[in-house]
Chain A
Amino acid sequence: MLKRAFEGLGYCQADYEDAARAAVWLESHGMRGLELVEEHWQRLGKVAGGLEITAIDNDVMTLDARGSSMLARGRSIADLAMALLGQEGFGRLKVQQCYSRMAIVPALELCAQRGAGAVAYWADSKYQHIATIDTKCGTPDYRRMQTKPRHSASETSLDFACHEQQQQLESILAEFADGDVRSACACHVSAADMKTHYQAAIEHGLAVSDDLLATLSATAETILVAATEQSRRGAGEA
């Protein structure tokens, strides 16, 4: 349903697949993916431009997401970081003009599956957010800190890095965030928590609100073609 709804919004195939996958991943790991979709639905409907590489300075690639959601772009970010890691020995990106940045979390798994640890950092007016993954665990860890960020993070930017050595990522993490992020944590969803949520989701399924289901259904219907006698012949007997 989610895939068809995103297709109905006009997303290309990879984007609607990625957006649906990210939303389901977040929801099934206890990270409120469906709430994210519901909250941003109007904005998600305004199809934004694709990613654009705007600069490469000091091995940091800067991208303009042109007002697009990380639901659809998360996996592309991880792919690009992994390509950079292969070329430069370090995959470090700064993404500007993006929203629903929580949706970068599922993309961390892509790096771990390919043998690299990864970290994502973003901030808003109240919190700093850090998501990390290491190859041993294979499931992300998410923390939110109330401390106000000192550095230049904007409310629409996201930092992402991947590396094969965890030590290197710790240095980057310190650069991204302010202070001891682990002790100042206001909210922590550990990898173990996420795995527990995931098992429960597999066992019981995911609950979708009636409102969201109605919204998704209505949007998904826009990819359907009106039925006619002629079209019925295109499925077999008249």
Chain B
Amino acid sequence: MPGRGKTPAHDQATTPLQLRPASTVLDLERLGSLHPYRLSFMRILLRHVMNERWQIHCKTWDLDAEGYGTAIYTIDAPHGRFSFVVFADYLEPARRSDRVIADQWDMTVTLCAGDVDDEQMQMLRANVPLQEAGRVDARCIVLSRANKSSRNFDYVIGELAAGRQPALETIARIGYLYRTTAVYGSGKFGMADWLKVRSTHPDFARPFAAEMFTCYMIREFSLAQADHIAHARAPGTAVKMDAAIKRYFGIGNATGLGMAPFLINHPQLISRWVEVRETALARVIRYGSPTAENRGYLQCLLQKASLHLRQIATDNELQNKCNATVIGELDDIHDWAGSRELLDWAELVEHASQCVSPETQELINSLLMELYPELTDELEDALCVDESLELMPGQSLADTKALIENHYDWALDIDFSEPHCRDVFWYRSMEKSEPRLGQRGVDPGEDKAMPLAVAYDVRQCYDLICASIEAGACQSVAEFAIRFPELRSTLRRVQSLTQSAYGDIRTNLLDADVLPIHLLRCKLSFFGVSKFDPKSRLWVRNTMFQGAPLADDIGADFADDWYFPVMPTMQQRRLN
């Protein structure tokens, strides 16, 4: 393991940690270049699964030769038993779609608390395959679905059935057998509310832990299903997939605009996630001392990250260009750091801020945090926040005005009289309420726009506050909010977020050039996904859990080093 740093407890008398300012961290382009780090939700989850030795057993495996049928896994975690239920159905290829508006899928799943009995299975069989159109109950925690990556799936089955292992180069191009297209939790469709999950299921009491675990189980099932079909197809010749190759398979994911409103509607939560990441980084910079051992480890990580990026296959030209830039810059940093004896990590961070792109800076930050689990990992318990945007009713208008000037200067700097600053609007489509972007004056639905225009709303609010102060109209914010009820939500947001360490993401979502994909990638990086493959500025494919240990690995030594996965070597394959 890498070198040790002093723990924060040894240094309580010194000044508070210096976190980077919101103006730097909450810039959308920077957020949109984040890579996973050791407090990303998948990483945290798997540390628990592996270190606590969760027991995952397949209880029911009722699949026909083509892999269609039902499977039930039981999961014994430290604080309770859970069931993962899979319905694998035939899907006409023409109906296979990543879009949320699809209504049939290759696989539909749910994660439930406790065991499932026959009666519950009947209810699940009737509702889980319907997804949004079905209704489940509070025993269900997560509902999800996934579609086959047809080409990859058929190729892998063919190879296994013929007695061969699938080629790693092929898997490197598409590192999964299935893609999830939606993962629902938190009380939707009758499922357990987040309050219940958080209070009664400690194993999943961190953000999106149950959702991430469901994706992990989809991956687990997909690999077992592939073995099953290959064996059924050619019992005489089929081989099981090598464990090392299985680990190199993740679970695919397609994420579209549906994720973007979440970041705007949960500003306190996003602020907390950012604060935790920044706190971890600040601890490493302050308390972590470069040693020969951890400098060497960082050099290895730089090479691994560079190789990981080289092995990403995407048709997106811009992403390829970005990856090439980061690869070159990582190699430069590798050479720079290898040519000197660093006295502290601040020197590296400062050098990076001067010489490389924001994406490379953030990737280096992610790697630095890998060196010091003892400084960072305890922060996993700080990722939740009780969200509540409330008015400070007694605040004077003058104080609220000053607060906006201090915290939303970025919003006040936007000139909304410029047409391009209010060119688009966000709305929900009749097709499954899917969020979409429309162009003002061109597309219908502007009157039904979603309230995501934080910067514009703050501007409107500020102007009316100034006018009210000028007129001496209201004594308090409460009175002002009664006169202008349409501003009440903005007032609550502005006042509440000044209590958060970071506050709102700094962007104008109405701008003609808005890049929602930055919002998606920001959230996905906190989830822990990798191999971003943008399909447009509105949606992105990516890979989850690639390189992660398998359920069969539980109980073996766990090095927690599966991040930035790279193609396994022949030697690794032989070892497994």
User: How many angstroms from the CA of A147 to the CA of B97 in the assembled complex?
Assistant: 64
Nearest Cβ in chain A — how far from B230, in angstroms? 32
Is B478 within 8 A of A82, CB to CB?
yes
Which chain A residue lies CB-closest to B431? Answer: A227
0 or 1 for each of A210-236: is its CB under 8 Å from B? (1 = yes): 000000000001011111001110111
Task: Check if A196 is an interface residue, CB within 8 A of chain B.
Answer: no
Question: Which residues of B lie under 8 Å from residue A237 when comparing CB positions?
Answer: 99, 535-536, 539
Question: Which residues of B lie under 8 Å from residue A45 when comparing CB positions?
Answer: none
Is B99 within 8 A of A235, CB to CB?
yes
Is A231 within 8 A of B438, CB to CB?
yes
Give the contact-size bracket for chain A: 35 or more
Which candidate, B80-88, B103-111, B443-451, is the interface stretch facing chain A? Answer: B443-451
Nearest Cβ in chain A — how far from B393, in angstroms? 4
Task: Check if A137 is an interface residue, CB within 8 A of chain B.
Answer: no
Interface residue tally for chain B (C-beta within 8 Å): 51
User: How many angstroms from the CA of A111 to the CA of B450 in the assembled complex?
Assistant: 30
Task: Check if A13 is an interface residue, CB within 8 A of chain B.
Answer: yes
Question: Which residues of A lie under 8 Å from residue B535 when comparing CB positions?
Answer: 236-237
**SS class, residues of chain A in contact with chain B:** helix
0 or 1 for each of B419-454: is its CB under 8 Å from A? (1 = yes): 000000001111101111110000111001001000
Is A225 within 8 A of B430, CB to CB?
yes
Is A13 within 8 A of B393, CB to CB?
no
User: How many angstroms from the CA of A202 to the CA of B194 in the assembled complex?
Assistant: 9
User: How many angstroms from the CA of A51 to the CA of B437 in the assembled complex?
Assistant: 34
0 or 1 for each of A76-95: is its CB under 8 Å from B? (1 = yes): 10011011011100000000
Nearest Cβ in chain A — how far from B472, in angstroms? 15
Is B391 within 8 A of A79, CB to CB?
yes
Is A76 within 8 A of B438, CB to CB?
no
Q: Assuming A110-B390, A234-B437, is B479 touching A83 (CB within 8 A)?
A: yes
Nearest Cβ in chain B — how far from A220, in angstroms? 9
Is B438 within 8 A of A223, CB to CB?
no
Is B256 within 8 A of A83, CB to CB?
no
Is B428 within 8 A of A12, CB to CB?
no
Is B430 within 8 A of A13, CB to CB?
no
Is A50 within 8 A of B482, CB to CB?
yes
User: How many angstroms from the CA of A87 to the CA of B476 in the assembled complex?
Assistant: 9
Is A225 within 8 A of B486, CB to CB?
no
Is A17 within 8 A of B394, CB to CB?
no
Nearest Cβ in chain B — how far from A55, in angstroms? 14
Task: Check if A184 is an interface residue, CB within 8 A of chain B.
Answer: no
Q: Assuming A202-B196, A225-B429, A234-B443, is B393 touching A82 (CB within 8 A)?
A: yes
Nearest Cβ in chain B — how far from A1, in angstroms? 10
Q: Assuming A205-B190, A231-B436, A231-B438, is B538 touching A236 (CB within 8 A)?
A: yes
Task: Check if A150 is an interface residue, CB within 8 A of chain B.
Answer: no
Task: Check if B257 is an interface residue, CB within 8 A of chain A.
Answer: yes
User: How many angstroms from the CA of A87 to the CA of B478 in the assembled complex?
Assistant: 12
0 or 1 for each of A7-32: is its CB under 8 Å from B? (1 = yes): 00000111101000000000000000
Nearest Cβ in chain A — how far from B7, in angstroms? 35
Task: Check if B24 is an interface residue, CB within 8 A of chain A.
Answer: no
Question: Which residues of B lie under 8 Å from residue A53 when comparing CB positions?
Answer: 479, 482
A205, A225, A230: residue with the most chain B Cβ atoms closer than 10 Å:
A225
Nearest Cβ in chain B — how far from A62, in angstroms? 13
Is B429 within 8 A of A50, CB to CB?
no
0 or 1 for each of B210-230: is its CB under 8 Å from A? (1 = yes): 000000000000000000000
Which chain A residue lies CB-closest to B190? Answer: A205
User: How many angstroms from the CA of A40 to the CA of B539 in the assembled complex?
Assistant: 42
Partner of A205, one of B137, B434, B448, B477: B137
Task: Check if A175 is an interface residue, CB within 8 A of chain B.
Answer: no
Nearest Cβ in chain A — how far from B543, in angstroms? 18
Task: Check if B126 is an interface residue, CB within 8 A of chain A.
Answer: no
User: How many angstroms from the CA of A199 to the CA of B192 in the assembled complex?
Assistant: 13
Nearest Cβ in chain A — how far from B189, in angstroms? 10
Interface CB pairs A-B, < 8 A, 23: A76-B481, A76-B485, A79-B481, A83-B475, A83-B476, A83-B479, A85-B394, A113-B390, A202-B195, A205-B190, A223-B428, A224-B429, A224-B430, A224-B448, A225-B430, A225-B438, A225-B445, A226-B429, A235-B257, A236-B99, A236-B256, A236-B539, A237-B536
**B positions within 8 Å CB-CB of A:** 99, 101, 137-138, 187, 190, 192-193, 195-196, 199-200, 256-257, 390-391, 393-394, 427-431, 433-438, 443-445, 448, 451, 475-479, 481-483, 485-486, 488-489, 492, 535-536, 538-539
**A positions within 8 Å CB-CB of B:** 12-15, 17, 50-53, 63, 75-76, 79-80, 82-83, 85-87, 110, 113, 202-205, 221, 223-227, 230-232, 234-237
Which 4 A-B pairs rank lowest in CB-CB distance, beginning with the nearest? A225-B445, A14-B488, A86-B394, A83-B478
